Amino acid sequence: PRKEDSNAEQIHYDIAASAQLVLEDILLKMVNHVHEKTGMKNLCFGGGVALNGVANHRILKDGPFENLHIPPSPGDGGSAIGCAQYLYYCHKKNKRTIEQNSERVRNNIYVGPSFSDDEIKSFLEENNIDYEYLEREQLLQTTAKLISEQNIVGWYQGKMEWGPRALGNRSILADPRDGKMKNVLNEKIKHREAFRPFAPSIIEEYVSEYFDIDITSPYMLLVVPVKKPEKIPAVTHVDGTGRLQSVSKNINPLYYDLINEFYKITGVPVIVNTSMNVMGEPIVTSPEEAFKMWARTEMDNLVMGNYLISENSIDEF
């Protein structure tokens, strides 16, 4: 077996590709069986394996179901919540309220801890950290310009995402037009295997223009072919695919408007989005954790709430 931190060789790639293909074939047999038994047109899919975006797209493309729904946290964390709900409603017989607004259910993903601008400011001032306060429009324009100039920006906003993916509130953002950006992110910040791609966040209205798919993918759970790899090489995998996140103005208006500002500058409605953490550590939660990560890596800028940080003026972090 391959040892940790050792170089991946062709045999490792071959084994991984074979295991992936077997997994996809087994999942397709399972979903075909479920379809034959139920005759339903919609499939809800969960479990840790539902984080496999390549297999998910194969189910959607080659499977018999018309629609596929995978929750934003399909693994053990989400399953634990589901088990608790099952006990509460089915065994304890508590009254269940059915939410009629399916859009609200599907997009209830920003439910984690949040910190106000006042709390962020208190942290910065208590630690003598230089910052610049920017109103919303100026913040978006400044940040988009920084990204368009190949700066790597930490983006810390609002409530934390539910699930293992950073979906625009605890993210590291970069320019997808720079083919070298993936290596820069890996070498300077993430310190992970070079073959692992970074995700594109795209304004949802442009999904079908840049990706071979006609539905949205808000949770970053589908890996699909890229139609314009020459325009977004930093988020195009070696096989010509990308694990996209479609961004809706209704669900995350601040992140949507940031990408839109980048689009106004560059003509590309996509930015690189990777989680704000280094390999082996969880995604940051608090302003202190976000700042510590920024200070200890080679990120160029950090935006927390309405505060822009561009210089690390203290050593203890």
Give the pLDDT confidence of 151-167 residue by residue, as tens digits: 999 999 999 999 999 99
Cα–Cα distance measured from residue 140 to residue 157, given in angstroms and rounded to the nearest whole number: 12
For residues 225 and 156, what is the distance between their CA atoms, to the nearest angstrom?
29
314 pLDDT more than 60: no
pLDDT tens string 264-309? 999 999 999 999 998 888 999 999 999 999 999 989 999 999 999 9
Assign 315 a pLDDT band (cuts: 50, 70, 90). Answer: low
Domains of the chain in start order, with CATH, are 10-106 (no CATH), 117-309 (3.90.870.20)
127 pLDDT tier (thresholds 50, 70, 90): very high
| pTM for the model | 0.93
Cα–Cα–Cα angle for 173, 160, 247, rounded to 5 degrees:
55
Helices (H) and strands (E) in the chain, counts: 10, 11
- Distance, CA of 106 to CA of 99 (rounded, Å): 11
Residue with tokens 């634990």: 80
Pairing of the two strands 270-275 and 170-174: antiparallel
**How high is the pLDDT of residue 317?**
57
